[in-house]
Amino acid sequence: MDVTNGIEQIDAINGSIHHHQVISSMYRDSRTAPLRKMSVDLIKTYKHINEVYYHRKRTRSEKKAKEKAAAAMANEVLKVRQNAQNDNSQFNSGYDDENHDYIVTQGELWLDRYQIDSVIGKGSFGQVVKAYDTLELEHVAIKIIKNKKPFFNQAQIEVSLLELMNRQEIDSKNYIVRLKGHFQYRNHLCLVFELLSYNLYDLLRNTNFRGVSLNLTRKFAQQLCMALRFLSLPGLNIIHCDLKPENILLCNPKRSSIKIVDFGSSCKIGNRIYQYIQSRFYRSPEVLLGLAYDMAIDMWSLGCILVEMHVGEPLFAGSNEYDQMMKIVEVLGIPPKEMLDMAPKTSKFFEKTITGDYVPKISSDKHLPPGTRLLKRVLGVETGGPEGRRRGENGHTVRDYLKFQDLVSRMLDYDPKTRITPLYALQHTFFKQPQNDVAASGDPSSFSSNSNSIAAVENNVLPINSLASNMFQQQQQLQYHQQQLQQQQIQQLQLQQLQQHQNSHITSSAAVNHICN
């Protein structure tokens, strides 16, 4: 009986709810009534209709424009690939152009993971694209190697060196770009890197090639010395072989942190592949002269880069190899006699006088006499910086410039055996500027006004003392002895190569004389 009464009560409640719903639907809010909308609120109604109409129209137009652009791009790529196939050419079934570069299409999805955005760089090796990693949910840079065997082989060496560096990492502060992975796609080897910002050449261009402040130059110098020190660790012994502003990238446009990229020409000590290395403006004397080389060539390049970053233009801007050597001679004088006596290519640049000294092979008004273009004048040590542009600025005193000049001079030592190493460069007084001086030496005027990020770079001071970490300090003594041993081994190898070269030269000369007679 109680159950029956309960059911009847529930039915009564449901009936009451239904009754209220019917009443509510009969008496709606007057603000939403059609009569009000078509009378008192007529203008609002028309305005709302217009907004909805034009929003839908604009959305449809944008969608059609995107679809049309995508279709046009796809058709263009298809035409190129069809033409390649119709021409019976060897362009990778139409996926490559005549230079063996992959024809990049925006929006492509590779390996169901990487969505291609755009090309952000090109070089002799191939091209670099910006892409989105849908697995890791981050943007990356993909280096697409040309579809040619020599480039493929060299890229494999680059991969092995980068993977070796990844395994050797002590911490994240080694200032070397990180390889995230690699794969093959349509016959192209592809290297996946973290996505960085613009390079130091772009930064110089932002200053209208007037250079950055000594404070910012110091920050770059310190990080690059740390990077070269990392490469010189016993487990690595890697020579970059192409250090230049274009291969040094900012991690973030609003920070001064940098990383070295492009190890496509790099090698390990003892596994040198090419004699013709380094971009000309940053090429070391031993490479120009055809001598054996080691990690010291990167320190030479660094010295050139630091001057360029502050002055705004290359220190040694040669138009060819001979001109390059003469540009060096203008500043540093004639290379040491012992070095020229050993070098296979000395006769390309110099000739020996009766007294046994060397002079430039070609006398020309184009070049200044040896050693007359002084580094202190290039830097403006006593005249307020390059062309006096830094006169009166904090952090640009004569003392600051003398420290900078001394460090650069040690980096540009003709003799690679006595050229300063990264370890000792980091201990140079140029990096021991008082903290209050560092904080006061921000210089937003050295950059173009169209970028807040670059002004931020000037004002972002790196903790100079913290860079020389305790871990590295503990390794200093050990690494010093290891480097000394390496230098001795390199000297022995150089002497052996020289003796072999001289013996072969004597033998070939005797054979020629015998034939002629």
Domain-ending residue, one of 177, 194, 211: 194
Q: Are residues 151 and 239 in the same domain?
A: no
Average per-residue pLDDT for the chain = 82
- Domain extent, residue 137, equals 109-194
Q: Are residues 161 and 251 in the same domain?
A: no
3-state secondary structure of 258: strand
User: Is the model's pLDDT at 272 over the cut of 60?
Assistant: yes
Position 473 confidence tier, pLDDT thresholds 50, 70, 90? very low
Q: Are residues 185 and 334 in the same domain?
A: no
Decide if 177 is inside a domain. Answer: yes
**Among 234, 296, 297, CA closest to 475:** 234
Q: Point out the catalytic residue in the list 101, 242, 298, 443.
A: 242
pLDDT attached to residue 41: 75
Look at 196-210, 324-338, 478-492 and tell me which has the smallest mean pLDDT.
478-492
Domain-ending residue, one of 194, 218, 239: 194
Q: Are residues 149 and 231 in the same domain?
A: no
User: Is the model's pLDDT at 200 over the cut of 50?
Assistant: yes
pLDDT attached to residue 61: 77
Q: Are residues 261 and 320 in the same domain?
A: yes
Position 4 confidence tier, pLDDT thresholds 50, 70, 90? low
3-state secondary structure of 209: coil
User: Is the model's pLDDT at 342 over the cut of 80?
Assistant: yes
Active site residue 242: yes
User: Is the model's pLDDT at 508 over the cut of 80?
Assistant: no
- Distance, in Å, from the CA atom of 231 to the CA atom of 30, rounded to the nearest integer, reads 78
Structural domain total, the chain: 2
- Higher pLDDT pick, 28 / 316: 316
Within a 10 A sphere around the Cβ of 78, how many other Cβ atoms?
A: 12
pLDDT attached to residue 465: 36
- The backbone torsions φ and ψ at residue 89, rounded to the nearest 5 degrees and listed phi first, read -90, 170
Domain-ending residue, one of 194, 215, 235: 194
User: For the chain, percent helix, then strand, then coil, each to nearest 5?
Assistant: 50, 10, 35
Residues 6+ apart with CB under 8 A from 439: 461
Look at 183-192, 333-342, 496-505 and tell me which has the smallest mean pLDDT.
496-505
Q: Are residues 205 and 189 in the same domain?
A: no
- Distance, in Å, from the CA atom of 147 to the CA atom of 507, rounded to the nearest integer, reads 43
Residue 363, domain CATH: 1.10.510.10
pLDDT attached to residue 30: 63
Position 509 confidence tier, pLDDT thresholds 50, 70, 90? very low
The pLDDT tens digits for 223-238 are: 999 999 999 999 999 9
Position 180 confidence tier, pLDDT thresholds 50, 70, 90? very high
Q: Are residues 287 and 180 in the same domain?
A: no
Position 78 confidence tier, pLDDT thresholds 50, 70, 90? low
Entry pTM = 0.71
Q: What is the mean pLDDT of residues 211-215?
A: 98
Q: What is the mean pLDDT of residues 142-153?
A: 97
Q: Are residues 135 and 214 in the same domain?
A: no
Where is the binding site for ATP, in residues? 143
Decide if 240 is inside a domain. Answer: yes
3-state secondary structure of 236: coil
3-state secondary structure of 267: strand
pLDDT attached to residue 29: 61
**Among 297, 362, 290, CA closest to 329:** 362
Residue 145, domain CATH: 3.30.200.20
Q: Are residues 342 and 418 in the same domain?
A: yes
Q: Are residues 240 and 153 in the same domain?
A: no
pLDDT attached to residue 28: 55
